[in-house]
Amino acid sequence: MKKISCWIIVYLFTFGPHLRGQELNRIVWDEKDAQKVMGEAYWSFWNEDVQRKIDEDIDRNRKADAVITLESVLKGSNVEIEQVSHTFLFGGNIFLFGNFDSPQQNRTYENTFGSLFNAATVPFYWKTLEPEKGKPRYELGADEIYRRPPPDPVVAFCESKNINMNGHAIIYGSRKWGHPDWMPENREEMEILFGQHVKVLAERYTDRIQRWDVVNESIHQADRGLMPDDYTYKTFAAAMKYFPDHVKFNSNDCDIKWGPTPRYVEIVRDLVDRGARIDNVGVQMHIFNPSESQKIAQGADVLTPEKNHAVLKCLDGAERPIHISEVTISAPDESRVGQLIQAVIARNLYRLWFSYPSTMGITWWNVVDGGAAPGEPSFSGLYDQALNPKPVYHALDQLINQDWKTRITIVPQPDGVVKFRGFKGTYRMKWKDGAGKEQRATFSLKTNGKVQLRKL
């Protein structure tokens, strides 16, 4: 088995039967511990060969070779290069913005965006955005609705931290979650209202929100209530009419656990053939049932590498980048061992999804235990209800901010050329010029080849 040393540090816990009664100040997660948390059957799926292939794919698909030419550099001195952000989007929904009891808890929640995540899904469910017709809840001071903060303060916060935003969703064809209670039961009247709603959002936010789920979960519409005829295409058409061209439009549907869904791909391709602009294809992955996580740990044939790849390969038929748009991984229970099982499942899935060439982002759904929708698991967060980080938080932090960020110190070649291979993203660097004066610059690494420095 591939060794997984030093990817997560867990403090003050009793680690299952083999450590019962031995409270340890610090335990480093390594291969031996991983084997004890997950069953042998689980590791037979996520074996050494699989892990090696994931590492190779990460290097191939998420890194690029940089060539930097320094006009002046002190002979024999070091150049320090540090990645500060990712091109790949790591996000979470930001539905609990401002919902906590204390300012400290709210700050902890907010700091997740910018320190761990560079992207956020902002709630725009029409049902709670405009519960009373003609009186939308855009601004601070609106009546409080749990998990549905007024979007204007959320957008302003994300802008202040340079967080990439996804508006979720312009139209959600669900009477329970999507439609305001005042929505008429007449298709023609609804169609007019839908078009007006798209126009209002476009005029209010223009390009401040980088991406929108234009429609959400539309392929099983027959089970979700009355909707206008061909509303999916018409909503994309309205979005294309009113939003700036550089705003990205997403579809969002299905679940990786369902297996390959050719019908979803067919719908996307049909919309594109008819002229709809779909920039990203979203697919969800929800482990809502805690007992399912326990079964996975014991080796159930669920969410295996082979099955994940089958779904992603099927989605490639849409010929669009893939967003793993909603990720729920419930712990089996609230024990430390249960939390560690959650962390192992998340770590392996994130590594596989990050390695896949078509994937452009991953969004964790409920960031805090107890913050899910009614009926969903209460301990599927990265934090417990007191906003203490759980092992899964540390696992993702280790991947995103350590394993997948490039930091390097290098001596330039005699001609001032610096070459390195690093993760795609934004970098800052510093060096001493020929006179010994410190210089600083930033650059973006997206493809192999020369990079353009921006002096600071």
For the sheet containing 417-423, what is the strand order?
Answer: 417-423, 63-69, 449-450
Q: Burial of 387 by CB count in 10 Å (0-12 exposed, 13-18 middle, 19+ buried)?
A: buried
Give the burial class of 245: count Cβ atoms within 10 A of its Cβ; 0-12 exposed, 13-18 middle, 19 or more buried: exposed
Can you give the three-state secondary structure of 156-220, one letter per residue? HHHHHCCCEEEEEEEEECCCCCCCCCCCCCCHHHHHHHHHHHHHHHHHHHCCCCCEEEEEECCCC
pLDDT tens, residue by residue, 132-147: 999 999 998 889 999 9
Pick the CATH number of 83-403 from 3.40.30.10, 3.40.50.2000, 3.40.50.9100, 3.20.20.80: 3.20.20.80
Band of residue 32 on the pLDDT scale cut at 50, 70, 90: low
**Nearest Cα to 290, choosing from 399, 369, 354?**
369
pLDDT at 426 over 60: yes
Is a pLDDT exceeding 90 seen at residue 3? no
Q: What are phi and psi of 108, to 5 degrees?
A: -60, -45
For the chain, the domains span 9-58, 83-403
Is the pLDDT score of 10 beyond 70? no
DSSP 285-321: EEE--HHHHHHHHHT-SSS-HHHHHHHHHHHGGG-S-
pLDDT digits (tens, 9 = 90+) for 60-81: 999 999 999 999 999 999 999 9
Phi/psi at 243 (5° precision)? -85, 155
pLDDT (tens digit per residue) in 295-317: 999 999 999 999 999 999 999 99
- The yes-or-no verdict on residue 381 having pLDDT over 80 is yes
Per-residue pLDDT band at 36 (split at 50, 70, 90):
confident
**Tens digits of residue pLDDT in 87-121:** 999 999 999 999 999 999 999 999 999 999 999 99
pTM confidence score = 0.93
